[in-house]
Amino acid sequence: MLHKRSSGLLLHITSLPSAHGIGDLGPEAYRFADQLTEAKQSYWQILPLSPIEEGLGNSPYSSASAFAGNILLISLERLVDEGFLDAADLAKPPKFAKGKTDYAAARQYKEPLLDKAFERFFDGSMDRHAYEAFCHEHGYWLEDYALFAALNRHTGIYDWSQWPAPIRDRTEAGLAQYRRDLAREIEREKFRQWLFLKQWFELKNYCMAKGLQFVGDLPIYLNYHSADVWSHPRVFKLDENHKPFVVSGVPPDYFSETGQLWGNPVYDWKYLRSTGYDWWLKRVSFNIHLFNLVRFDHFIGLVAFWEVDAKEKTAINGKWVKVPTSDFLATLFRHHQHLPIIAEDLGVVTAEVRNIMQENGFPGMKVLLFAFGPDLPTNPYIVHNHTEHCIAYTGTHDNNTVRGAYSKDADDATRQRVADYLGQPVNEKTVAWQLIRLTMQSVAKVAIFPVQDVLNLDERARVNVPGVAENNWAWRLTPGQFADEDVAKLATITQLYGRQ
């Protein structure tokens, strides 16, 4: 799957600069793609593109759909270029904070403009052939998602199990009635998804023409309040009241005495197997179409998952439940000659998971920030223990920046091990590029770096702190922050270590 030595950068779309409060699929995305090309990079890794919710911390890993896109990523400038809006509509944007995403303010500003584009499209003379073809091609998920989103607004009830019984239970009469009553709202949701995917594939095609590939991200679990759980309840372990009777988590470990109780509904793999894994097959196929490579979050969950009774307050009293992994993967391979999957295998991973990854050719991840503990000589993340078939990182979206980790998180013994391994003095101003250089030297076929490390940014540029609900997913580049000298420096070191 990984054919040549190459490298790339990790930056989510929301972290791009823009004039509209949140990074999007507009001019700055194309500028960043050009910079990646100039820097001799081959990959642009992003986080999930799925819808987000303010009540869930705006996390791209907590979503109401396995298929829909985040409409806040739609570029208003491109809507002007295509005639959906007038330039005057964007003439006086609010003053948004620099270097930070204000999701509420961005939504308040952008949604009325998306509504204006919708009204112009449906009440004017614009050609609808492309839109209608999109609705036909994506109807298998779009119809249910659009109705679900419309029902959210219509009912005002954030728990679909409390909706009126005919629509909660998806009776034929209930579905027909609400599709009639909410026809305009449903059409608006479809239109927004069309705009999003239209702009996404325009950006993807632009990148591919420049030899740049996208690494996407597929979260294993969904929110209970999601279009997929509502429309495919048999896929999940729900009781007679449509509620999960068991939920997801991870068991107690070195980091937590009570484990982590995530609370997502878990999959009924026995039922899935009886359907030929139809829902999962559609989901994987969709993501392979979206991206060139797909990072499969919490890959261990495709082998076995920690299942906890929904009444429990912690994850202590759970159990491991096996997944029919071999049969599932064989089904995927029958439909896809090639599965471009990267397995997120960080943390505790069993020998069975390793064997499945090796048998199916799925590369794993090696994060250098995890490598400098007392076990350094045998640590799998340290560079001298890497193998070719893996992706080497300085850090990920869940880590501190290299500079922040070195100056704020590491103890003196860890800092000394870093210096000893590098064989030269280290300080907080030099450590990020010293570890970038070290990762570039790895035998791993692909090396990827968060943009924050390339820019030598400290802990204030961290994207996410796992387990903390507030103030995540907000960091953004400011215009011009990723400068020509950074691009040139990255190009030089990429060529030096044969990753062009």
Residue 314 CB coordination number (10 Å): 15
Catalytic choice (297, 307, 453, 458): 297
How far apart CA 302 and CA 206 sit, in angstroms, is: 33
Phi, psi at 366, each rounded to 5°:
-125, 110
Set 344, 345, 453, 458: catalytic member: 344
CA distance 196 to 215: 18
Residues 458 and 137: their CA atoms lie apart, in Å, by: 45
Q: Which residues pair with 43 in a beta bridge?
A: 8, 213
**Inter-axis angle of helices 129-137 and 139-155, to 10 degrees?**
100
Closest-CA residue to 304 (of 283, 319, 284, 282):
319
Active site residue 86: no
Largest CA distance in the chain: 73
Q: Is 484 a catalytic residue?
A: no
Q: How far apart are CA 178 and CA 162, in angstroms?
A: 16
* Contact (Cβ atoms closer than 8 angstroms) between residue 240 and residue 81: no
DSSP string, 128-174: -HHHHHHHHHTHHHHHHHHHHHHHHHHH--S-GGGS-HHHHTT-HHH
Q: Collapsing DSSP states into helix, strand and coil, what is residue 389?
A: coil
Token digits for 148? 């679900």
Q: How far is CA 205 from the centre of its chain?
A: 19
* Cα distance between residue 303 and residue 322, in whole Å: 6
Extract the tokens encoding 181: 């009553």
From 82, 398, 428, 486, the catalytic residue: 398
In angstroms, the first-to-last Cα distance of the chain is: 17
Q: 390-393 and 446-450 as β-strands: parallel, antiparallel, unpaired? A: parallel
- Say if CB 500 and CB 40 are below 8 A apart: yes
The phi, psi pair for 10, rounded to 5°, reads -105, 115
| Cα(389)–Cα(353) distance, integer angstroms | 15
Q: Return the DSSP state at 88.
A: G
Q: Is 93 helix (H, G, I), strand (E, B) or coil?
A: coil
In 3-state terms, what secondary structure has residue 305?
Answer: strand
| CA within 13 Å, CB half, 394 | 31
Q: b/e for 195-215, b at 16 or more Cβ within 10 A?
A: bbbbbbeebbeebeeeebbbb
Residue positions annotated with a catalytic role: 297, 344, 398
